[in-house]
Amino acid sequence: MTANPSPPAALEGLRVLDLTGLPGQYAGKLLADLGADVIRIEPPAGSPARNRPPFAGDVPGPNTSLAFWYWNTSKRSICLDIATEDGRALLRRLLPRFDVLIHTYSEAEVMSLGLSHAELAALHAGIITCSITPFGEWGPHAGWQADDMVVSAMSGLMTLAGYPDRAPVMPPGEQAAICGSIQAASAILAALFARDRSGAGQHIEVSQQEAMSITQETAMQTWDMRGELRRRTGNQKLLPGFGTYACADGYVYSMIGVGGFGSPLPVLFEWMNEKGMAGDLMQPEWQTALSGMDLRQLTALLTQPDKLAEMMTRLAHIEELIAAFYAAHTKEELYVVGQNRRLLIGPLNNARDIRNNEQFNTRGWWQEVEHPEQGRSYTYPGPPYRHAQTPWRIHRRPPLLGEHTLDVLEGELGLTREQTAMLMGAGVI
Amino acid sequence: MSGELPLSGLRVADFSWFGAGPIAGLMLRTLGAEVIRVESQARMDGLRMTQPVPPGKEGSPNVSGYFNNYNAGKLSFTLDLSRPEARQVALDLLARSDVMIENYTPRVVQNWGLTYDEVVKVRPDIIYAQMPMQGSWGPHRDFLGFGAVIAPVAGYSHLSGWPDRLPSSMGVNYPDYVINPGHAVVAILAALRYRARTGNGQHIELAQVESVAATLGPFLLEYTVNDSVPERSGNRVAWACPHGAYRCQDGLPLPVAATLRMAASASPPPQLEDRWLAIAITNDAQWEGLLDVMGRPAWAQDERFTTFLGRKRHEDELDTHIEAWTSTLNAEEAMRQLQARGVPAGVVQSARDVLDHDEHLRERGFYQYINHAETGRSAYDGPGFRMSGAPFALGGPAPLIGEHNDYVLREVLNYSDERIAELLIGQVIY
CA A188, CA B31: separation in Å to the nearest integer?
Answer: 11
Enumerate the residues of chain B whose CB falls inside 8 A of the CB of residue A160.
170-172
* B225 in Cβ contact with A56 (< 8 Å): yes
Q: Which of A228-237, A327-336, B167-176 has the lowest mean pLDDT?
A: A228-237
| C-alpha distance from B422 to closest chain A C-alpha (Å) | 31
Residue B369: inside a domain, yes or no?
no
Residue range B14-32: mean pLDDT, rounded:
97
Helix (H, G, I), strand (E, B) or coil at A98: coil
* B31 in Cβ contact with A190 (< 8 Å): yes
DSSP structural state of residue B45: -
Task: Domain of residue B191: give its range.
Answer: 11-215+398-425
C-beta atoms of A169 and B161 within 8 A: yes
Enumerate the residues of chain B whose CB falls inside 8 A of the CB of residue A348.
152, 157-158, 167
Residue B283: inside a domain, yes or no?
yes
- The pair phi, psi for residue A385, each rounded to 5°, is -155, 160
Query: What is the reported pLDDT for A202?
Result: 98
Please indicate if any CB of chain A lies within 8 Å of the CB of B363.
Answer: yes
* Of residues B46, B167, B353, nearest to A348 (C-beta): B167
Helix (H, G, I), strand (E, B) or coil at B216: helix
| C-alpha distance from B362 to closest chain A C-alpha (Å) | 9
* B426 in Cβ contact with B83 (< 8 Å): yes
Query: What is the reported pLDDT for B268?
Result: 65
C-beta atoms of B348 and A153 within 8 A: yes
Question: Pick from A208, A346, A140: which is nearest to B158 by CA?
Answer: A346
How many other C-beta atoms can be found within 10 angstroms of the C-beta atom of residue B115? 16
Mutate to test the interface with B, among A102, A223, A307 (most CBs of B within 10 A): A223
Please indicate if any CB of chain A lies within 8 Å of the CB of B199.
Answer: no
Question: Pick from A34, A148, A142: which is nearest to A394 by CA?
Answer: A34
Does the structure show a pLDDT above 70 at B50? yes
CA A139, CA B379: separation in Å to the nearest integer?
Answer: 20
Residues A370 and A346 in one domain: no
* B125 in Cβ contact with B199 (< 8 Å): yes
Pairing of strands B276-280, B11-14: unpaired
Residue range B2-14: mean pLDDT, rounded:
90
Residue A256 sits in a domain of what CATH number? 3.30.1540.10
Name the domain boundary from A301, A323, A356: A356
Residues A199 and A89 in one domain: yes
Name the domain boundary from B290, B315, B348: B348
Does the structure show a pLDDT above 90 at B63? yes
Residues A54 and A201 in one domain: yes
Residue range A190-207: mean pLDDT, rounded:
96
Query: What is the reported pLDDT for A3?
Result: 52
* Of residues A171, A172, A346, nearest to B153 (C-beta): A346
* A378 in Cβ contact with B204 (< 8 Å): no
* Of residues B158, B194, B388, nearest to A202 (C-beta): B388
Residues B201 and B127 in one domain: yes
- Annotation says B176 is catalytic: yes
Q: Is the ipTM of this complex over 0.95?
A: yes
Residue range B339-351: mean pLDDT, rounded:
98
Chain A, chain B: beta-carbon pairs less than 8 Å apart: 536
CA B265, CA A315: separation in Å to the nearest integer?
Answer: 29
C-beta atoms of A210 and B382 within 8 A: yes
Residue range A282-286: mean pLDDT, rounded:
89
Name the domain boundary from B315, B332, B348: B348
CA B293, CA B311: separation in Å to the nearest integer?
Answer: 18
Which neighbouring-strand residues pair with A75? A38
Please indicate if any CB of chain A lies within 8 Å of the CB of B30.
Answer: no
Helix (H, G, I), strand (E, B) or coil at A224: helix
Residues A301 and A399 in one domain: no
- Domains held by chain A: number: 2
C-beta atoms of B280 and A149 within 8 A: yes
CA B290, CA B288: separation in Å to the nearest integer?
Answer: 5
How far, CA to CA in Å, does B226 sit from each of A306, A379, B333? 48, 11, 44
Report chain B's mean pLDDT, rounded to a whole number: 95
DSSP structural state of residue B126: -
Residue B63: inside a domain, yes or no?
yes
Percent of chain A with pLDDT over 70: 99
- Angle of helix A316-327 relative to helix A265-274, nearest 10 degrees, comes to 50
Enumerate the residues of chain B whose CB falls inside 8 A of the CB of residue A242.
none
Residue B104: inside a domain, yes or no?
yes
CA A398, CA B416: separation in Å to the nearest integer?
Answer: 58
H/E segment holding residue B337: helix B331-340
Query: What is the reported pLDDT for B64?
Result: 97
Residue A228: inside a domain, yes or no?
no
Residue B414: inside a domain, yes or no?
yes
Enumerate the residues of chain A whose CB falls inside 8 A of the CB of residue B168.
161-163, 169, 232, 234-235
* B315 in Cβ contact with B246 (< 8 Å): no
| CB within 8 Å of B337: residues ≥ 6 apart | B293
Residues B128 and B41 in one domain: yes
Burial class (CB in 10 A: 0-12, 13-18, 19+), A199: exposed
Residue range A364-374: mean pLDDT, rounded:
97
Mutate to test the interface with A, among B212, B223, B360 (most CBs of A within 10 A): B360
Query: What is the reported pLDDT for B1?
Result: 42
DSSP A348-403: ---HHHHHH-HHHHHTT--EEEEEGGGTEEEEE---SSEESSS-----SPPPPTTT
Residue B134 sits in a domain of what CATH number? 3.40.50.10540
| C-alpha distance from B416 to closest chain A C-alpha (Å) | 35
Query: What is the reported pLDDT for A4?
Result: 62
Residues A51 and A181 in one domain: yes
Residue B270: inside a domain, yes or no?
yes
Instruction: List the A250-255 sheet strands across, edge first.
Output: A242-247, A250-255, A345-347
Residue A87: inside a domain, yes or no?
yes
- Angle of helix B331-340 relative to helix B284-294, nearest 10 degrees, comes to 130
Residue A237: inside a domain, yes or no?
no
Residue A20 sits in a domain of what CATH number? 3.40.50.10540
* Of residues A225, A351, A363, nearest to B65 (C-beta): A225
State the distance between the two ends of chain B, measured CA to CA, in whole angstroms: 40
Chain B residue closest in CA terms to A233? B171
Residue B221: inside a domain, yes or no?
no
Enumerate the residues of chain A whose CB falls inside 8 A of the CB of residue B157.
244, 251, 253, 348
Per-residue pLDDT tens digits for B298-310: 999 999 999 999 9
Beta strand segments in A185-256, E: 203-207, 242-247, 250-255
Residues B326 and B408 in one domain: no
Residues B344 and B413 in one domain: no
Position with higher pLDDT, A311 vs B272: B272
Question: Would you give the distance in Å from CA A10 to the centre of its chain?
Answer: 21
Helix (H, G, I), strand (E, B) or coil at B360: helix
* Of residues B158, B187, B219, nearest to A387 (C-beta): B187
Please indicate if any CB of chain A lies within 8 Å of the CB of B161.
Answer: yes
Which neighbouring-strand residues pair with A101? A17, A129
Residues B248 and B211 in one domain: no
Catalytic residue of the set B14, B80, B98, B176: B176
Residue range B178-205: mean pLDDT, rounded:
98
Residues A341 and A412 in one domain: no
Selected residues 314-353 of chain B with any CB under 8 Å from a CB in chain A: 339, 342-353
Does the structure show a pLDDT above 60 at B397? yes
Of the CA atoms within 13 Å of residue B288, those in its CB half-sphere come to 3
Per-residue pLDDT tens digits for A243-273: 999 999 999 999 998 887 889 999 999 999 9
- Domains held by chain B: number: 2
Query: What is the reported pLDDT for A1?
Result: 42
Query: What is the reported pLDDT for B267?
Result: 60
Per-residue pLDDT tens digits for B255-290: 877 655 555 455 666 789 999 999 999 999 999 999
Report chain A's mean pLDDT, rounded to a whole number: 94
Residue A3: inside a domain, yes or no?
no
Task: Domain of residue A82: give its range.
Answer: 15-215+365-425
Does the structure show a pLDDT above 60 at A306? yes
Residues B260 and B210 in one domain: no
* Of residues A144, A163, A350, nearest to B158 (C-beta): A350
| Structural Rg of chain B based on CA atoms | 26
Residues A318 and A260 in one domain: yes
C-beta atoms of A11 and B190 within 8 A: yes
| C-alpha distance from A256 to closest chain B C-alpha (Å) | 11
Residue B267 sits in a domain of what CATH number? 3.30.1540.10
Name the domain boundary from B348, B371, B389: B348
Query: What is the reported pLDDT for B259?
Result: 59
Residue A96: inside a domain, yes or no?
yes
Question: Would you give the distance in Å from CA A358 to the centre of its chain?
Answer: 22
Residue B45: inside a domain, yes or no?
yes
- Angle of helix A175-198 relative to helix B179-198, nearest 10 degrees, comes to 20
Residues A347 and A369 in one domain: no
Please indicate if any CB of chain A lies within 8 Å of the CB of B191.
Answer: yes
Percent of chain B with pLDDT over 70: 96
